[in-house]
């Protein structure tokens, strides 16, 4: 990345040509977010909570992970970066999550895909860079397939393409039958207070209709995939599979040897911001 590009990144302070000092982007604007949450109302569907920055294109749309909200540190860091450059940015909560309407027990991949497309269609203009974390990485792929004319580039952070379906498929037959009878799958997660995610069986059945790793993925826009090799939830090989299956040639897979699933360490976030910045430069050059 050119030095000029590095100098404009939030949290980076020049201290000479040979060194740059880092401060987390969200630390620079902590306490300054006064803009209230807005809502996208949809006929017969739950309202979606979102926050939007208006600005120039390409815009950036952030897709959170499974059961996560738009208030994660990564989402806020990307927002700060876009604000510093004057680029458009949107973050939002899926239906059944955060401040959005709906019940989580009724959520499916189909519904969350509709959420993403609604945000993309109604709240953004022109080319967009989709940044998807975990489950958001799966949904960004589905959105890019559905709206190739709107999606200019993709950034996957521990992209979880097909992962819940794959994990469910690896369970013993007896366990699958128990889950089907009970109607819920208790998926272990040490980061949850309860120690597990409670996933409706209907979510798994619906997700099986949206798998992308068993055939070529019809996406040709630039794609950057970042994954930690110590990811305790989604193996980094999932991102490798995505890279191998995508039809486009402008695909980079970046593996971080010590990083875990959430990728919230200082150097993780810095890499995410660098990656988005590089794509913005690339797309701006192509205009």
Give the span between the Cα atoms of 95 and 67, in whole angstroms: 10
- At 173-198, the pLDDT tens digits run 999 999 999 999 998 876 666 678 88
- Provide the annotated active-site residues: 134, 231, 261
Q: Can you give the length of the chain in residues?
A: 287
Token pair belonging to 129: 């860079």
Mean pLDDT of 14-26: 39
Closest CA to 142 of 159, 164, 158, 124: 159
Give the span between the Cα atoms of 248 and 250, in whole angstroms: 6
Query: pTM for the complete prediction?
Result: 0.87
Q: Output phi, psi for 265, to 5 deg.
A: -70, 160
- At 39-91, the pLDDT tens digits run 999 999 999 999 999 999 999 999 999 988 999 999 999 999 999 999 999 99
Contact 264, 228 (CB under 8 A): no
- At 78-131, the pLDDT tens digits run 999 999 999 999 999 999 999 999 998 899 999 999 999 999 999 999 999 999
Share of the chain above pLDDT 90, in %: 79
Contact 58, 153 (CB under 8 A): yes
The residue behind tokens 């040979």 is 18
Indicate the average pLDDT of the chain: 88
Mean pLDDT of 124-145: 98
3-state secondary structure of 189: coil
DSSP state letters, 81-108: HHHHHTEEEEEE--TTSTTSSS-GGG--
């Amino acid at each position: 990345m050119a030095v000029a590009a590095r100098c404009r990144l939030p949290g980076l302070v020049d201290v000479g040509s040979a060194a740059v000092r880092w401060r987390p982007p969200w630390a620079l604007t902590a306490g300054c977010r006064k803009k209230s949450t807005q809502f996208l109302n949809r006929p017969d569907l739950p309202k979606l909570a979102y926050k939007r920055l208006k600005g120039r294109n390409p815009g950036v749309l952030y897709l959170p992970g499974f059961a996560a909200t738009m208030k994660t540190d990564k989402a806020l860091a990307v927002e700060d970066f876009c604000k510093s450059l004057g680029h458009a940015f949107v973050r939002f909560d899926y239906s059944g999550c955060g401040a959005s309407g709906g019940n989580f027990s009724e959520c499916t991949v189909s519904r969350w895909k509709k959420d993403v497309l609604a945000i993309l269609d109604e709240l953004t203009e022109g080319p967009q860079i989709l940044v998807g974390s975990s489950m958001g990485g799966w949904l960004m792929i589905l959105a890019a397939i559905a709206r190739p004319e709107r999606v200019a580039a993709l950034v996957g952070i521990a992209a979880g393409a097909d992962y819940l379906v794959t994990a469910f498929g690896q369970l013993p037959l007896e366990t699958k039958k128990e889950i089907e009878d009970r109607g819920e799958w208790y998926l272990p997660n040490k980061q949850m207070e309860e120690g597990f995610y409670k996933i409706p069986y209907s979510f798994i059945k619906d997700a099986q209709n949206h798998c992308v790793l068993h055939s070529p993925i019809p996406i040709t826009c630039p794609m950057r995939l970042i994954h930690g090799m110590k990811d305790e939830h989604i193996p980094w090989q999932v991102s490798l599979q995505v890279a191998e299956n995508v039809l486009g040639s402008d695909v980079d897979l970046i593996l971080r040897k010590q990083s875990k699933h959430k990728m919230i360490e200082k150097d993780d976030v810095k890499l995410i911001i660098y990656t988005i910045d590089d794509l913005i430069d690339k797309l701006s050059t192509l205009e």
